């Protein structure tokens, strides 16, 4: 009965590789998000989709590409991974724009 689930939980990879993180929510929410939390614990929004439509696309390298096949899924693909990409990536969802966010458990990405 997990509300927002993301996989994998841990991801260790080498520079230059391509990797994906998957996210699914079973709350029936219309909006999903990707956040990045760096070592200083600051949460930064990357992308947001509302009913499969991209509505927030913050200034992130174009190596990061979100994909939303339906409103319950939002995946994040990262090309040519760099050391600076190491962080915890959180998926989240909300019923509507000003509603509280429900977070997944996070994916800790380590690039070596």
In the numeric block, which tokens belong to residue 2? 């997990």
Name the minimum Å distance from CB 30 to other proteins.
10
Q: Does the footprint of other proteins cover residue 47 (CB under 8 A)? A: no
Taking the least distance from each CB to other proteins, the nearer of 33 and 64 is: 33
Q: Does the footprint of other proteins cover residue 1 (CB under 8 A)? A: no
Could you give the C-alpha distances from 73 to 4, 23, 33, 52, 82, in angstroms and in order?
Answer: 10, 6, 10, 9, 25
Name the minimum Å distance from CB 69 to other proteins.
20
Distance between CA 27 and CA 93 in Å, rounded?
Answer: 8
Distance between CA 104 and CA 5 in Å, rounded?
Answer: 5
Taking the least distance from each CB to other proteins, the nearer of 42 and 84 is: 42
Write out the residues near other proteins by the rule CB under 8 A.
Answer: 31, 33, 40-45, 48, 50, 55-56, 90, 96-98, 100-106
């Amino acid at each position: 009965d997990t509300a927002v689930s993301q996989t994998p939980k841990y991801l260790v990879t080498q520079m230059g590789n391509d990797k994906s993180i998957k996210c699914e929510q079973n709350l029936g929410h219309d909006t999903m998000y990707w956040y990045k939390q760096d070592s200083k614990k600051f949460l930064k929004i990357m992308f947001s989709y509302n009913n499969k439509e991209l509505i927030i696309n913050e200034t992130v390298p174009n190596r990061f590409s979100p994909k939303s096949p339906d409103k319950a899924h939002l995946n994040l693909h990262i090309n040519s991974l760099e050391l600076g990409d190491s962080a915890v990536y959180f998926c989240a969802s909300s019923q509507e724009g000003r509603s509280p966010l429900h977070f997944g458990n996070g994916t800790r990405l380590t690039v070596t």
